[in-house]
Amino acid sequence: MIANAQAGAAKACPEPQNTGADAAAHSRGSSFYAAMRILPPAQREAMFEIYSFCRAVDDIADDGGPAPARKAALAQWRSDIDALYAGTPPQAFAASLAPNVTPGLAAAIGSFDLRREDFLAVIDGMEMDVDADIRAPDFATLDLYCDRVASAVGRLSVRVFGVPAQEGGPLAHHLGRALQLTNILRDLDEDAGIGRLYLPREALTAAGIDETTPQTVLAHPALADACAPLILRAENHFREALAIMARCPRKSVRAPMIMAMAYRPILARLRESGFTPPRARVRASKFRIVLALLRYGLV
């Protein structure tokens, strides 16, 4: 739910972090910072740590440096996550045996029973961007990508939020995909600037677009037709996520509800404004975020 919800484009590979002091600061650039801030302290700090992890691996994937160096940086993260789950003591983090890991992330994993496979899935998703700039994947590959970079983050997050177990997985599935598909539609130009195009091949073909070069596709008069299936899928995922949250204890879904209320209007504005260039970047409305905070931020 969080992995790609941050400002900025290509960034330099981050240096390893040895303390958890900056986790909250890293999170302030997120569209979801307000949703995280309303959580009780332990949950809030855990979400800041999850977001900081997501930002670190996302920065590696988006860096324009050599692919081998980026793959090595992601491999280091895999090794460090493995060290966490192998019981590496917190003092070893400062000794650089697991240089990316903070004691705060270790504490979050222990407090909320976060699963190793979800962290590794996020890294796998970032590696998809490193292996080759994604251009017009088929729907199945796009869905796998969304599961790794967004729904896997959701699976970590719902454990922190305290969403009932039977609802947590489906909520992560639907809300993660809704948010990620919205990001893809919002960030077409930004992604094209680094050689990526996440619009699925089947949608391009159905719209009569035979090209996969990002800038060529974005200039095509049928671009809106190619975007329409993703808009429909994202809206269906939002609808399913809202139905799930309506069945959950209010306290457990305050944060994801604020996330949905901040992002769903972005999708609506993209649909209404169309995709004819020049395309102005659509941002989360501060007014709507405040309204969501007033409606869902209080228990």
Mean pLDDT of all residues belonging to the chain: 85
* Number of other CB atoms surrounding residue 286 within 10 Å: 10
**Are residues 23 and 49 in contact, defined by beta-carbon separation less than 8 angstroms?**
yes
Identity of the highest mean pLDDT range in 9-13, 155-159, 260-264, 289-293: 155-159
Question: What are 176-224's pLDDT values in tens digits?
Answer: 999 999 999 999 999 999 999 999 999 999 999 999 999 999 999 999 9
Q: Are 102 and 50 in contact (CB under 8 A)?
A: no
Residues 71, 55: Cα–Cα separation, whole Å: 16
Q: Which residues contact 233 (CB under 8 A, 6 or more apart)?
A: 177, 181
Percent of the chain at pLDDT exceeding 70: 80
Whether omega before 278 lies within 30 degrees of 0, making that bond cis, reads: yes
Where are the chain's structural domains? Answer: 30-297
Structural contact between residues 275 and 188, judged by C-beta atoms closer than 8 angstroms: yes
User: Per-residue pLDDT averaged across 71-93, rounded?
Assistant: 83
Residue 52: Cβ within 10 Å count? 22
Closest C-alpha among 69, 178, 88, 159 to residue 117: 159
pLDDT of 13 higher than 80: no
Both structure tokens of 189: 């130009």
Q: Which residue has the tokens 């860096």?
A: 63
Which CATH fold topology does 30-297 show?
A: Farnesyl Diphosphate Synthase (1.10.600)
Position 75 scores a pLDDT of 94
pLDDT of 25 strictly over 60: no
Tokens of 149: 């970079």
**Which stretches of 102-175 are assigned E, i.e. beta strand?**
none
Taking the alpha carbons at both ends of the chain, their separation in whole angstroms is 22
**Residue 261 token pair:** 């209320």
The model carries a pTM of: 0.87
User: Cα–Cα distances in Å, from 167 out to 113, 119, 294?
Assistant: 17, 20, 25
CB 254 within 8 A of CB 297: yes
Q: How confident is the model at residue 279 (pLDDT cuts 50, 70, 90)?
A: confident
pLDDT in tens, 165-178: 999 999 999 999 99
The Cα 144–Cα 199 span in angstroms is 14
Q: Give the dihedral of Cα atoms 107, 76, 50, 103; nearest 10 deg.
A: 20
